[in-house]
Structure 1
Amino acid sequence: MPDTAAPAATDDALLMLLRRLDEDGYDFVTPTPLTHQRVVRRPGMQEARSVRDVLGWSLPFRDGLLAPDLFDALDAAGMLARDGDLWRSAVRVSRVHGLLFLHSAFPTAEEDSVFLGPDSYRFADFVAREMGHDCRLHRLVDVGGGAGVGALVAAARCWAREALLTDVNPRALRLARINAQHAGIPLATRLASGLGDAPQDCDLILANPPYIVDPAGRAYRDGGDLHGGEISLEWARAAIPKLAPGGRFLLYTGSAILEGGRDRLREELRRVAEDAGVALAYRELDPDVFGEELDTAPYADVERIAVVGCVITKPR
């Protein structure tokens, strides 16, 4: 499908916001939702006292707290909402690997929320480690790329003639385009599900798919069957035919480790790689995340949820 573009005036307002924040040295690291909830429950956190409170902690704020140009930029972009006598921003801004990213305000409860959190930082680290030195690519694709963390971190370290980000969420595509423009990185976007519409002969395909079983079925969170690993497996199958000789598929995802230490996702990915005649490298990046999910019925037979990094390489 063709790129989805927002009105230029609203994009320009958000670009101005990012430029001003960069000039002022703005910095915020987005924590997990549980940590966020704990922090904003503390005394003195009911109302914003700084730009960081507004655009990081998503706290309501009074008229006059933000500089007029920042307030006007959020207003012009349609990113302000009334909360009684206060205002709230509909976006957050976080810094990942030196780059600023617009994403959805807390809490990310809406179906089309644009998520960025601790997984985004681990994903960025994984991608950066795999880029190497003096890297040059003909074609890079970030599938389900959200706010653009994977694509922009990769492109900032590895020159790419073509860089494409796909997502099913038009809000994500809009914010990714703005984030890329602010970073000075050319990035095309496409409204698409999975890799069906991705071009052939890709040197690098990136994916950070959802990997938790989500009863609400939110697109940015629900990984489907296989204890949330279904989408990861589907994207791996779809990526292999899209790779150029020597091309790589970098998959950052979670795997439910079953009783006795069995990793079914690893088993399934190994079968896929063997059937396709490609090389597979697979390692745990974090042994234990989202432990609260183990209290829910879909995870009754799961010991832990591990974050894993998978690299599939097509022979030259």
Structure 2
Amino acid sequence: MAERDDLRIDLLRQLKGLGYGFVTPGNDSHRRVVRRRGLAGDLRDVFGWNLPFRPGTVRPELFEAMGAAGLLVRRRRYWRSALRVASLDRTLFWHSAWPPKARDAVFFGPDSYRFADFVCAELPPGPLRIADIGTGSGVGAIAAALARPGSTVLASDLNPAALELARVNAAAAGVELTLAQGSGLAPLDGQFDVIIANPPFFAGKGGRLYRDGGGDLGMEVALVWAQEAADRLAPGGRLLLYSGAPVVAGVDRLREGLERVLVPKGLVLRYREIDPDIFGGLLNHPRYWRVERIAAVGLVAERQQ
């Protein structure tokens, strides 16, 4: 495992040195683009669009490194990468192959970019003690660590596949993370200056850890994590929570729930819509018949000194 991790770290560094960059779109856009593409012609096709490729598409030393790192999947006469690579600024992230349908899939997409931007915009001056709960690929934890050098950053996830990729992504970025397996803050000790979270927020049981938010409208995980965080913030500490919020008859139901959980605990809240309408396709699901739209939102909940 350690040797494979080292090889994957080195591959990310090689790709960065080659100037690789790929902004990962949402699933619908990805699906439409790959339908009109054929075989991969360059590294963005191989690691971004995750297209099948001929061995000669990838330089021999890179192809050999992919094989040693367990990343080559045979597709008849062609090959395919077992993981994709997304870029956020100059930082690269391994995440799951297309399509990310496995229960333990590690997703990176538009929400990852919005989450990282929101976190970096709302971090207080550092260095800080930071917790990232439900870290996934590690994007929030890594972005926060790079934005506040000298911080101590801990991260948790239920999914061991996510922790494996987060560890590799952090090492490739030159970031030190302390990782623990478990739900929410349970596996992490102590109080924190900042707790960040991008909880799953889809209603229903799709069987994917990164999607299933629990409850009728997918808000259960977000509310549980918010309540846990309220009890673990140091004086002056902040919870930075990015999520999808179902809007019913003009009312943001997530905001209602967060206010109900956090205001009695003495936290001061700021809340804003980052994008008014995301994942519109979900409205076809029976659980969303009453929902008008799903908004991307950011909550800042601060414990006073």
- Please tell me the TM-score bracket, short chain as reference: over 0.9
Whether 1:37 and 2:31 are equivalent positions in the alignment is yes
Residue number in structure 2 paired with 1:22: 16
**Alignment partner of 1:206 is 2:190:** no
TM-score, normalising length: structure 2: 0.97
Partner SS state of residue 64, structure 1: helix
- Report whether the alignment pairs 1:178 with 2:168: yes
| 3-state SS, counterpart of residue 136 of structure 1 | coil
Q: Give the match for residue 246 of structure 1.
A: 236
- Asked if 1:163 is matched to 2:153, the reply is yes
Aligned residue type for 1:126: F
Q: Judging changes above 3 Å, is the alpha-carbon distance between structure 1 residues 80 and 219 closer, same or farther for their aligned structure 2 residues?
A: same
* Runs of 4+ more than 4 Å apart: none
Q: Distance in 1 between matches of 2:246 and 2:48?
A: 31
Q: Is the 8 A contact 1:97 1:153 kept in 2?
A: no
Specify the code of the residue in structure 2 equivalent to 1:275: P
Q: Which residue of 2 aligns with 1:283?
A: 272
* Aligned residues of 1:236 and 1:269 also touching (Cα < 8 A): yes
Pair 1:135-2:126 in alignment: yes
What letter is aligned with 1:28?
Answer: F
- Residues of 2 paired with 1:214 and 1:120: CA distance? 21
Please say if residues 213 and 219 of structure 2, whose CA atoms lie closer than 8 Å, have aligned partners that are also in contact: yes
What TM-score do the two structures reach when normalised by structure 1? 0.94
Q: Is contact 1:253–1:307 with CA below 8 Å preserved after alignment?
A: yes
Q: Are 1:122 and 2:111 counterparts?
A: no
* Map of 2:50 onto structure 1: 58
The correspondence for 1:112, drawn from 94, 104, 111, is: 104
Provide the alpha-carbon RMSD of the alignment: 1.2
Residues 232-252 of structure 1 show CA distances to partners (whole Å, capped at 9, x for unaligned) of 111000111111111111000
Structure 2 CA distance for aligned equivalents of residues 232 and 98 of structure 1: 30
Percent identical residues: 50
Structure 1 unpaired stretches of 5+:
1-6
- 1:200, 1:244 within 8 Å by CA — same for their partners in 2? no
* Counterparts of 1:248 and 1:210, CA distance in 2: 20
C-alpha separation in 2, matches of 1:274 and 1:128: 24
Q: Which SS does the other structure have where 1:222 is aligned?
A: coil
> Which amino acid in the other structure matches residue 6 of structure 2?
D
Gaps of 5+ in 2: none
Q: Secondary structure at the match of 1:225?
A: coil
Question: What SS does the corresponding residue of 1:227 show, helix, strand or coil?
Answer: coil
Partner letter of residue 190 of structure 1? A
From 296, 300, 303, give the equivalent of 1:311: 300
**Aligned match of 1:8:** 2
1:102 aligns with 94
Of 184, 188, 192, 1:194 maps to: 184
* 2:204/2:287 contact within 8 Å kept: no
Residues 35-88 of structure 1 deviation map (CA, whole Å, 9 limit, x = unaligned): 00111111xx12111111010000001122111221122211112111111111
